[in-house]
């Protein structure tokens, strides 16, 4: 019974934090874009505009909702639900912090430590394609369909390079479990005692990080890879015909995917919750709090990096997008994997 209560509290907490992070990512993006463009951004709803996400949510909830007459109504409704469901489910295998002792029990800050955790995330990411494709097709709008085809082909293409990069990380750690991948990064970098807690994969696989980060941008339909929502060609993209909270689900799913992508990048390349000097902290509760805080600082950094790239780089053409994925990133990922295998065999 205690185990069920523990996991229920953790599930609700992770779900709530995911929604709050996605909600305030919209505020942060508008503020960050305003800073780069020498504007103020949202500043009317609450101090510094902090209540703007609630105002946006209220607008979405009370907006008129309509379903096109010639759409496939069941699939039209299911599309955004699938997108939101697959986005939320990916957080189940992420270790948010180390285990700690409380109430006479060892509490784990991971909903489920399955031994194929990274494959679980990749699997749900691939299912997200169905939410986009179904929504675009069910709308019975040719522009929405074009956008859905663009988005699905782009996501499938970049998942190949991303999957190959994951193979290199698995080759180094010998495990598909995200907890094991994080624990492998808790040692000393290059066996230097002073650098304990800095044995992060980024120092061994810098090219893999660049490729993975690029693929994550494409997977999240973020600029400069936002060809699915290219307003000058496709009006509103695959969710053109959506309104109210159905549109809100699609938009929310994109920010949740960005949050989860940032979390995965921090976890597999930047040590997760590990940080230098953590071995000096003896208090279990304090160590857990600091580890969770460090992980979220890394996540926020990568979320801001996603935003910085969006508001800095111009949009790719679609042929450039596919050329980069198939003729550049996939060959580079394969070469990186072969080099990694050779180095592991040699050592």
Q: What is the DSSP string of 226-276?
A: -GGG-HHHHTTGGGTT--HHHHHHHHHHHHHHHHHHHHHHHHHHS-TT--T
| 3-state SS class at 317 | coil
pLDDT attached to residue 93? 93
Q: Spell out the residues 6+ positions from residue 312 whose beta carbon is closer than 8 angstroms to its own.
A: 36
pLDDT attached to residue 277? 86
Tokens describing residue 145: 């369909």
Average pLDDT for consecutive 10-residue bins of the chain (347 residues)? 83 93 94 92 90 91 87 92 92 90 81 90 88 92 87 90 95 92 89 84 95 93 80 72 90 92 96 90 88 96 94 86 93 96 91
pLDDT attached to residue 314? 86
**108 and 174 Cβ atoms separated by less than 8 Å:** no
- d(CA 347, CA 345) in angstroms, rounded, equals 6
pLDDT attached to residue 189? 87
222: phi then psi, degrees, rounded to nearest 5:
-95, 150
pLDDT attached to residue 307? 94
pLDDT attached to residue 318? 83
Cβ atoms within 10 A of the Cβ of 197, count? Answer: 19
Q: Is the pTM of this model over 0.85?
A: yes
């Amino acid at each position: 019974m205690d185990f069920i209560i523990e996991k229920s509290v953790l599930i609700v907490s992770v779900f709530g934090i995911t929604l709050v992070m996605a909600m305030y990512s919209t505020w942060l993006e508008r503020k960050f874009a305003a800073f780069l463009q020498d504007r103020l951004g949202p500043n009317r709803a609450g101090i510094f505009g902090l209540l703007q996400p609630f105002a946006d949510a209220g607008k979405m909830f009370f907006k008129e909702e309509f379903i096109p007459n010639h759409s496939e109504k069941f699939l039209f409704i299911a599309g955004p639900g699938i997108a939101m469901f697959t986005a939320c489910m990916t957080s189940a295998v992420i270790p948010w912090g180390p285990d700690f002792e409380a109430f006479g029990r060892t509490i784990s800050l991971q909903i489920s430590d399955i031994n194929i955790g990274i494959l679980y995330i990749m699997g749900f990411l691939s299912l997200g394609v169905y939410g986009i494709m179904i929504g675009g097709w069910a709308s019975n709008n040719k522009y929405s369909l074009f956008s859905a085809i663009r988005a699905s082909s782009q996501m499938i293409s970049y998942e190949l390079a991303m999957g190959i990069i994951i193979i290199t990380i698995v080759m180094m750690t010998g495990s598909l479990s995200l907890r094991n991948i994080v624990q492998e990064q808790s040692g000393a970098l290059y066996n230097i005692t002073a650098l304990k807690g800095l044995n992060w994969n980024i120092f061994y696989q810098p090219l893999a990080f660049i490729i993975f980060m690029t693929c994550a941008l494409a997977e999240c339909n973020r600029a400069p890879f936002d060809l699915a929502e290219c307003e000058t060609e496709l009006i509103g993209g695959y969710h053109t015909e959506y309104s109210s909270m159905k549109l809100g689900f699609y938009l929310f799913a994109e920010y949740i995917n960005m949050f989860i992508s940032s979390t995965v990048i921090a976890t597999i390349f930047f040590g997760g919750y590990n940080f230098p000097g953590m071995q000096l902290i003896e208090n279990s509760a304090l160590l857990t709090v600091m580890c969770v805080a460090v992980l979220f600082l890394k996540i926020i950094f990568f979320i801001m990096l996603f935003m910085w790239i969006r508001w800095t780089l111009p949009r790719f053409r679609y042929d450039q997008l596919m050329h980069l994925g198939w003729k550049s990133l996939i060959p580079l990922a394969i070469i990186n994997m072969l080099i990694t295998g050779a180095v592991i065999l040699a050592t």
